[in-house]
Every structure is written in C-alpha cells, then in structure tokens.
Structure 1
C-alpha cells in the first residue's frame, strides 16, 4: 500500500482507492462475516489442537504405566532350591551391570531346601554373604571394597514372614554402630520397602557407606568402603557412595521382589 500511495503522489494526484455506496456496505458485511468465521475457525482449530495434545499426553502416560510395572515383574509362584543364591548363581551380584567386580574375595550361601529330606512344612530361611573388590561407576577410579549379606524368609508356616523380616531388619539396624568409628550422616533411601543408609569412617578410619534394606521378606546389607592403600588413602565422598548404592540397590530390590514367591 505504501508503494502505491508513493507512486500516485509522484504522478500529482491523491491516491484514492476502494468501493463506495451499497457495494462498500456489502463488501464490509461480507468481510466481517468471513472474518468472524475465520476467527471462529482459528479458535476451533486451536482448541482441537490443545485437546488433541492433552489426549495424546494422557494416552502416552497410560501406555507407559504398564511398561514400568512389567519391568519390575511379578513374584514367582514358587522358588526352586538354590534359586536365591544372590552371590554366585542366577541372581549373581558379579553379573549385574551396576557393579564391576575386580576380584571375588569370599562367597557363602545357605538354603535348607537344598538339603536332602527337607520338610516343606519347616521354615525356609535363605541366606548368603560375599565380599568383592570393585571398580565404581561414579567419582573416583580407585578400587573399593564391597560386602553384601542377606536373609530372606521364603516360607514360614508358623509365623508371618513379613513380620519376621521386619524383626530381622530392626536387628540389622541395631548392629550398625559397631561397624563405624564415627557416623557422619544418615538417610532413608526410597528404592526399597524400607532402607536406612549410614556414612562415616570404619574402625580403621576409612570412608564407609552402609545400607540396611528390606524388600518384602528379604533383609540385606550393602557396605562400600575405600581402599586404604589407594591414592585417596581410602577417603571417598558420600555422594559417590550414595550414587553407587542407589544404582545397585534399586536392581537388588527388583530382583528380591520378583524372586521371592507370594
């Protein structure tokens, strides 16, 4: 429009364009009507887009929810003898991708169901303990020591196995202070049914991170400690221990949940 007005001015006459009279009235009416429909169309389109986006988000969330549940799995109907050997068989700690084992120091396992003549009406308490030197995923590249032990009440015809596990959990917490020369901090991780973590120095003055956790009727303890002969002289930040403990603990929680029968 600016260019048209400028050209007309150069020709020596005012720029006068448009319609007049009834034609103008019809044009204004028509344009107004089309504009109204245009605005209405834009509003309807925007509303449809918004509703579509919200519906898509709801559908996406709904479709993702079962996937998360399936990743955890469901408890088994029964547990075969030796099926809960966490340290050296099906659930073997060394095979977990959240733990890079350099050397296995010791492994022990006990399952009464593996004994000939085991009475199915007797309580079945599976336990195990193992120690490793590991290379952590987080922070320092120095080696750590890792100790693990667990007790799982698989079957108890006389007592509620969850109640027995809660008692074992309380007993394990009572023994924690004896493992430290000083405890600097304490927290409650949320990756298990119940868990408490402790950070400080062990009896040799080396950094130590200890977690006692319970998943269903299994109680387990993880202990990470620094290497006193390493470059850091065994001193490890709590944050590094905590991240490693959470990564491994979450995976152990899922495995205990699915392996222990209902």
Structure 2
C-alpha cells in the first residue's frame, strides 16, 4: 500500500499540509501507510466559509430536500464501499469489523433520510405547538418555530469508527440545515478522508456544507461563537480540555460529549 498524503478539505478545495505531517502506521505490519497534517489552514476562514456559504445554502433547502441529499450521500458511499473496505485493513479491522463502520454508517444516513421525509414537513421551519394568544382581543398572537442555527457544527470523532462515527453526526446536522467541519482521529483519518471524498465527489452537497480537518485543530476553537456547536467523541481528558476552553466560557457555544 502506497503512503497516502491525507488531505483536508477547506473553503471548497482539497488542501495538502505545507509541513509538519505526522506518520500513521499500519496496526498490522507497522509500516507507514499515511501522512497527515493541517499546517497552513486558516481555521477562521474555514468557519466563515461555512457560515456565509454553506449555512445559507443548506437553510434554503427544505427538510425533505435535505433528507434526499442524505439518501444520495448514503448511496454514494455504498456504491464505492469496496474501496473503503480495502483501506480499512491496515487499521487492524476485519471485513466484519468494517461492515459495521462502512455499511452501518451508510445505513445511519439512510435512516435519517427516511425519518426526515416521514416525520418532518417539506418546509424550512418546524412549527412548535399551537398559536398562542398574547392579547385579550385576539389581535396579538405568537407562534414558536424551530429554525437552523446560524453557525457551524464542529465534529471531533474517535479512531475506532472513522466512517460510522462521522456519518452518525452528519445525518442530523445536515438534516437540520447546519454546515459541518469534521475532524477525524489521526490514526484512522485516512479512512475517514476517503469516505469524505466520496461524499464530496457525489456532487450532491452545496458548497461549504462540509469541510474536513485532517490533522490538528490549531486555533479553530478560538473562532467559535454562541451559534456554533461542538460534538466530541473521545477521551475524558480531551473532553475536559474542550469543556474548559476559554472561548467556550466566554461565548457559551454548545457542546455534546461522549467520552470514556
């Protein structure tokens, strides 16, 4: 297996780190199978691109349109699943192990696509409850609605399910009309990058809807705001660092943590 230069995907373009790449070894043979790094990425620009380009494009779509987009992404992954199986072997995974990751991941997107069309309206807003009378004469009323966040979802994923772990977060995020920045674990990031590339090459995603960080996150968290969301799966130690980040304390962006 040739050594892969794992790329990031930022502002609509594939990007190879200008330096500081780290070697990723095969869990089976110990041979180097990939090099990964994110030096040179402008993380502030990456988040702005998601907010100003990806977000508006996704919010312009209805729930049903987003659901059909998820279905198309799942079909794209399934159509090229053998490529992903082949890439997964150096991680130490058997085909049965990878079946859960690859086809299970696609199945998660199929499930969210189905729920989106069956349980949500073909609209851009979700009505919450009945109209409320706010004045005695009935001339002043209110209606609660759910709308998409105006920010970005940052997904930090664990090493053991590089595809399923990514797709289980992307399903509800994209269905909700929120762009995402995906940060896979470095040890299996080359597998996640391959699945991510399949989704980009499918051509069904609006520009800016998805971006990928292959490597370290640099100063990305310094640019988050109260409209942004962080979803993390990984160690308890890293989870505590994220929870106590000074920008989170100041901006109060939302975090969802699954740590062990």
Structure 1 or 2: more strand by fraction = 1
Which one has a bigger Cα radius of gyration?
1
State the TM-score, normalizing by the size of structure 2.
Answer: 0.24
